[in-house]
Amino acid sequence: MSKIPVGILGATGMVGQMYISLLADHPWFEVRYVAASPRSAGKSYAQAAAGRWHLDNFSSSAPILHSVGEIMVEDANDISKALEARKTGRCDFVFSALEMEKEQIKMLEESYAAAGIPVVSNASAHRWTTDVPMLIAEVNPHHAELITIQRKKRGWDKGFIVVKPNCSIQSYTTPLWALMQKGYEIKRLLAVTLQAVSGAGYPGVSSWDMIDNIVPYIGGEEEKSEQEPLKIFGVINQEGILINAAEPQISAHCNRVPVSSGHTACVSLEFGAKKPSIEEVKKIWTEFRALPQEAHFPTAPECPIIVREEADRPQPRKDRDMDKSMAVIVGRIRPCPVFDLRFAGLSHNTIRGAAGGGVLSAELLKHKGYI
């Protein structure tokens, strides 16, 4: 099978670099087009990324080794360049890792979609746009149906926008869904997140703020953690409108901690009338599989939820890279004296929570015939 040519907007930033890394040997997709800010335009990708490569798993020469380094960087604001690349078979759709003001991202992504170029976005600009699906492939793949509604509403032909959710919710949303799928109503949820510094990008949080310290504030993060799962758990009604779920009620405390990668959440939850045993919860999580696993998507983890039985796990340094860095690792599953159940969840924030989640969404969209 010939690979689908893809583009990356914001290709020189940290998330853009992660897309380059994850797509280097992808069996379905191949990076053939890269775009970034005007100051990077006109340079080769190797030149534009020189001195800015921040990934541990790739050296600064990696883009050249994987044939991306010689690609000329275009101005992401100039959509005509992407259209030209599409006509010449170099860009069927784009991953958006744009780093600019939210309204600028919103308008630019809409312009790409209106021009007929599908956008799979890592940005937050369209997460609360009502006709834009916010996807976790194992949880709400059916929300891709909103693409048809989105196109009809906006008069778009081939273009569309889908987004992935915030990295802070990855470590508990899929475990919640697995329980809900087995008929267990979740009424209320308290989540205390311990979020890695890589979630703030580069240069991110000052070392003076993080060394020997915890910062109990991340702007906008608690609101995202409390609200985004409700859109993901929502249903599309007969009029084609996505109705957000009313439950669970979520209270989040989000903290920045001196960990390089891997977001942890300490979660307590309250069930409805039907309450599972601890052993039943472990069984549900261990056995949980969804469409990405059944269809064998290349980026999908074999086990989307991995249960650790050790008393002191999960730990970011030891567990974040399990199963392609795409699994949710859960542990410390025990009764809660205030609610019903408590556990610790861990996910890799820059892979599962960022570029890896975007690639998995694109695999889902290809499987469903949208790209």
Could you give the CA distance from residue 73 to residue 89 in angstroms, rounded to a whole number?
17
How many Å separate Cα 3 from the centre of its chain? 22
* Distance from C-alpha of 113 to C-alpha of 111, rounded to nearest angstrom: 5
Residues 6+ apart with CB under 8 A from 6: 23, 29, 30, 31, 32, 33, 91, 92, 93, 94, 95, 362
Which amino acid, one-letter code, is at 91? C
Catalytic residue among 263, 303, 348, 367: 263
Minimal CA–CA distance to 10: which of 54, 74, 88, 92? 74
Is 142 a residue of the active site?
no
Q: How far, in Å, CA of 88 to CA of 284, rounded?
A: 48
Residue 136: partners with Cβ closer than 8 Å, 6 or more residues away = 164, 165, 170, 173, 174, 177, 232, 357
- Of 91, 143, 167, 367, which residue is the catalytic one? 167
Measure Cα distances from 102 to 98, 107, 199 in Å.
9, 9, 17
Query: Can you tell me the distance from the alpha carbon of 32 to that of 71, in angstroms, rounded to the nearest whole number?
Result: 7
CB 98 within 8 A of CB 76: yes
**What crossing angle do the helices spanning 356-367 and 14-23 adopt, rounded to 10°?**
50
Candidates 347, 343, 295; CA nearest to 141 is 295
Q: Is 266 a catalytic residue?
A: no
Distances (CA, A) of 30 to 49, 243, 256: 19, 36, 35
Beta bridge partners of 193: 254, 265
Q: Within its chain, how far is the Cα of 319 from the centroid?
A: 18
Structure tokens at 24: 């280097």
SS3 (DSSP) at 252? strand
Return the SS3 of 366.
helix
Catalytic residue set: 167, 263
